[in-house]
Amino acid sequence: MFSLEQYPLNFAPNALEPHMSAATINFHHGKHLDTYIKNLNGLIAGTDYEKLSLQEIIVKSASDTNAKKVFNNAAQVFNHGFFFQSMALNNGSTFPENIAKAFGSREKFMEEFKTVALGIFGSGWAWLVNDKGSLKIMGFSNADTPIAHGLKPVLSLDVWEHSYYLDYQNRRGDFIDAFLNNLVDWNFVNNNL
Ligand code: MN
């Protein structure tokens, strides 16, 4: 059984204000993520999936056309767990040199990440991934996740509307800027490289 306690916040719900409100955190972590966890537990109860780790569930269900709901909920649990871990406000973390090197500069990385995140049509996720040693920024639709494609996750941004609508309404670009400039915990990112 998976539980919300396995995916704790590293900060108080109001710690990311004004860039991300306590209301957004409380709905997003406390309601949306919790619902994905409860759905997943219900779907895997009494099945072969029950004995697997979250990442194993994602990989197995990705290739099982009868397990689309299992995949969607398991992937969303992983994606959200990763996303909430990747944020911290004013923690003094410095932008990783390896990322600046891979993309030309900090600014070029920010620009490319924003372009990808803005370009996702509808719901989805922007990710920085490690693809066999090379860093890439990729957009994924709906629940899709790097884990399902053999890619190592480094940084994720949730661009489903529930992620920013209370604070930014339709201004996804402003949310992406706030995330990149103020919310990312680059120590966490650096540890994933
Ligand atoms: Mn979300």
- In this predicted model, what pLDDT tens digit does every residue of 65-111 receive, in sequence order? 999 999 999 999 999 999 999 999 877 789 999 999 999 999 999 99
For the chain, which residues make up each domain, given as ranges? 22-85, 89-192
Distance in Å, CA 104 to ligand 1 centroid: 30
pLDDT score at 89: 83
pLDDT score at 69: 98
Which residues make Cβ contacts (< 8 Å) with residue 174, sequence separation at least 6? 168
Distance in Å, CA 162 to ligand 1 centroid: 6
Contact criterion met (CB below 8 Å) for 95 and 22: no
Q: pTM of the entire structure? A: 0.96
- In this predicted model, what pLDDT tens digit does every residue of 128-142 receive, in sequence order? 999 999 999 999 999
Distance in Å, CA 179 to ligand 1 centroid: 14
- In this predicted model, what pLDDT tens digit does every residue of 11-25 receive, in sequence order? 999 999 999 999 999
The sign of the CA dihedral 79, 126, 29, 69 is negative
Identify the CATH number of the domain defined by range 89-192.
3.55.40.20
pLDDT score at 4: 96
Mean pLDDT within 155-159:
98
CATH class (in words) of the domain with range 22-85: mainly alpha
pLDDT score at 92: 75
Q: Which of 166, 118, 160, 190 is nearest to 13 (CA)?
A: 166
Distance in Å, CA 102 to ligand 1 centroid: 28
